[in-house]
Amino acid sequence: MPNSELMPIGVFAQRSGLTSSALRFYADSGLLPPAEVDPVSGYRYYSADQVARATVLRQLREIAMPLTAVEAVLDAEADEGARLLDEHVAKVVGDAVAAQHKAAVIKSVLGDVPGLPVAVLKGPVLADAVEQALTACAREPGMPVLAGLRIEASHEAVTLTATDRYRLSTRTLVPTEPPRQTWAGTVDGDELRAAVTEIRRSALVRLEAVPHGIWLRVAGREDRYCRLLSEELPDHRLVLASLVRSPPVRRSRRSCSCEPWKNTPASVSRCTSPTTEYTCGQRTTNTPDSRSRPPRRGGPSRSGSN
């Protein structure tokens, strides 16, 4: 007869959160053998000391960890087990991102909807602009749009804009062919960043919009697809309008490390580091006054107060 301190499989299943069939499976696989098996009835009994191991086993399986890795974590020291967990989570996240991208590509061809030609740009110029604009992106839980790049095509130019609400980066490009019609969307920044190498190697890149994303068509190479983000980018035009009204400060093509700006022109901060044409972020479009003048010796700074 079983020890009175042992519990039958049904009670242990309730304590551990595992089903009786799962407990039998893990017993047969050697991950969680019962403390005792009745030789006559074959009933399995578990001890209270096994609840903790069974609970961790269940949690590991809930994050899709394979049995071999589960066994390694259960039998490892705490530091080694934590390392194995981190490796598994990194793989799961990578697989999820790859699956998300593949699903987006499949979604783009469903229904055989023809793409909308947006613009034709020089590959190296577009690659440089993407890399520069993405320096103002950020990854923030609950706001995935901050990791995106806003693309706006007018009849004369294509503008790339990114912001993390503290920095603002924008580039305006002149297409090799005038855009046929206006278009705007916020593209996944990571997917666009991954396509930069192919873009740079291509003389021309054709931007083609589809319902859920944008295709980067390149001659002689694999076309790249970037999905659109559904969230709205923070209102960057309000900030740009304020910067245009402000006197220019030191200009360069480096990103700035200014203090946070708010959503009202009155509270736009002044940069204290070398930046671009205006008071915040990167604005590298060419304007008549875009060349810096050398500072006057012995006199007040052009951007200083009276």
pLDDT grade for 4, boundaries at 50, 70 and 90? low
Asked whether 67 and 60 are in contact (CB, 8 A), the reply is no
Ramachandran area for residue 84 (φ above 0: left; ψ -120 to 50: alpha; else beta): alpha
Q: What is the pLDDT of residues 76-121, one digit of tens each?
A: 999 999 999 999 999 888 887 777 767 766 665 665 667 788 899 9
Q: Is 196 exposed, middle or buried (0-12, 13-18, 19+ CB in 10 A)?
A: middle
As a whole number of Å, the end-to-end CA separation of the chain is: 95
What value does the mean pLDDT of the chain take? 78
Q: Given this model, what pLDDT does residue 109 score?
A: 62
Q: Given this model, what pLDDT does residue 240 score?
A: 65
Q: Given this model, what pLDDT does residue 128 score?
A: 95
Q: What is the pLDDT of residues 254-298, one digit of tens each?
A: 444 443 433 333 333 333 333 333 334 334 333 334 344 444 444
Q: How far apart are CA 306 and CA 213, in angstroms?
A: 50
Which residue would you say has higher pLDDT here, 63 or 273? 63
Tell me the percentage of the chain whose pLDDT exceeds 90.
Answer: 42
Provide mean pLDDT across the span 15-28: 93
Whole-structure pTM value? 0.52
- Weakest-pLDDT range from 18-22, 213-217, 220-224, 238-242: 238-242
Q: How far apart are CA 267 and CA 15, in angstroms?
A: 57
Q: What is the pLDDT of residues 163-190, one digit of tens each?
A: 888 888 889 999 998 777 889 999 999 9
Query: Per DSSP, which regions of 38-182 are E strands?
Result: 44-46, 116-122, 148-153, 158-163, 168-173
Asked whether 214 and 187 are in contact (CB, 8 A), the reply is yes
Helix/strand/coil for 213:
strand
Whether the per-residue pLDDT at 122 is higher than 50: the answer is yes
Whether the per-residue pLDDT at 127 is higher than 90: the answer is yes
Whether the per-residue pLDDT at 40 is higher than 50: the answer is yes
Q: How far apart are CA 230 and CA 99, in angstroms?
A: 18
* Residues 36-42: contacts with CB under 8 Å, at least 24 apart: 36/2, 36/3, 36/6, 38/1, 38/2
Q: Given this model, what pLDDT does residue 213 score?
A: 87
Asked whether 151 and 119 are in contact (CB, 8 A), the reply is no
Provide mean pLDDT across the span 214-221: 87
pLDDT grade for 157, boundaries at 50, 70 and 90? very high
Provide mean pLDDT across the span 1-29: 87
